[in-house]
């Protein structure tokens, strides 16, 4: 492997640790240079700015997570809701094992620093849209009652799932001792919400008579 590429990978590894501990805003170029054990000039030989360096770290996190969590394989499932539940279990264990990666992903997509909002939207908007498109493709296999708009149903389900994703990341970040009992309770609560959407909350007339 060429020396320059090897050095660049070492810089990314070192800067990943700094960004995951301190976040983008609270990380200085001096901190990054010290962690990498090189001068700021050499860091900026490889990366034009702190912003570019952070986005390069984020690229690696996304690619690593997508491969190791097997996102593409999950979409081979026949049942949308089973696939979503399985992915939650995989994500729970993966983020518990890779807490630094989880913190970077959480900051980038759930608490995006103002300085990065435009770049992250431009850079990852298509990726997120493609991910949603894949889930929508799987959702097409869900049988719906007559008269239910599939697009609206999908949006309602995704809004609920987004709420639980936010809740999951917040609680996982604030409590490093979350165990399997948390995961079971989390999935049960989410399943109850999804059941209300899938099967309705209002008694039908025949049930009232």
User: Cα(134)–Cα(55) distance, rounded to whole angstroms?
Assistant: 24
Map tokens 């008694």 to a residue: 203
pLDDT at 5 over 50: no
Model confidence band, residue 173 (pLDDT cutoffs 50, 70, 90): low
User: Cα(142)–Cα(94) distance, rounded to whole angstroms?
Assistant: 28
User: Cα(23)–Cα(157) distance, rounded to whole angstroms?
Assistant: 31
pLDDT at 6 over 70: no
Q: What are the Cα distances from residue 139, in Å, to 76, 78, 87, 100?
A: 12, 9, 15, 32
Q: Is 134 helix (H, G, I), strand (E, B) or coil?
A: helix
* Residue whose C-alpha is closest to residue 92's, from 171, 194, 192: 171
Model confidence band, residue 175 (pLDDT cutoffs 50, 70, 90): low
pLDDT 10s digits, 13-55? 999 999 999 999 999 999 999 998 888 888 888 888 999 999 9
pLDDT at 4 over 50: no
Q: What are the Cα distances from residue 129, in Å, to 34, 96, 132, 133?
A: 37, 26, 5, 6
pLDDT at 89 over 90: no
Q: What are the Cα distances from residue 100, in Å, to 33, 143, 149, 164, 165?
A: 19, 39, 40, 21, 17
Query: Is the overall model pTM greater than 0.85, yes or no?
Result: no
User: Cα(21)–Cα(36) distance, rounded to whole angstroms?
Assistant: 15
152 vs 199, more confident = 152
User: Cα(7)–Cα(39) distance, rounded to whole angstroms?
Assistant: 12
Q: What are the Cα distances from residue 207, in Å, to 130, 134, 166, 202, 204?
A: 42, 38, 36, 10, 5
């Amino acid at each position: 492997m060429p020396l320059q590429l090897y050095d660049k990978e070492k810089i990314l590894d070192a800067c990943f640790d700094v960004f995951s501990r301190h976040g983008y805003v609270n990380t200085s170029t001096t901190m990054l240079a010290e962690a990498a054990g090189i001068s700021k000039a050499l860091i900026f030989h490889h990366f034009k700015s702190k912003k570019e360096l952070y986005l390069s770290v984020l690229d690696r996190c996304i690619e690593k997570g997508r491969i190791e969590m097997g996102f593409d394989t999950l979409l081979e499932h026949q049942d949308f809701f089973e696939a979503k539940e399985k992915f939650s279990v995989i994500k729970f264990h993966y983020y518990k094992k890779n807490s630094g990666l989880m913190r970077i992903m959480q900051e980038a997509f759930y608490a995006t620093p103002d300085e990065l909002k435009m770049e992250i939207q431009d850079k990852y908007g298509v990726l997120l849209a493609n991910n949603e498109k894949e889930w929508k493709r799987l959702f097409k296999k869900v049988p719906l009652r007559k008269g239910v708009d599939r697009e609206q149903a999908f949006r309602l389900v995704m809004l609920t799932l987004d709420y639980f994703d936010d809740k999951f990341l917040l609680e996982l970040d604030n409590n490093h001792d979350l165990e399997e009992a948390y995961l079971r309770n989390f999935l049960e609560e989410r399943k109850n919400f999804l059941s209300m959407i899938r099967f309705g909350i209002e008694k039908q007339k025949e049930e009232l008579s």
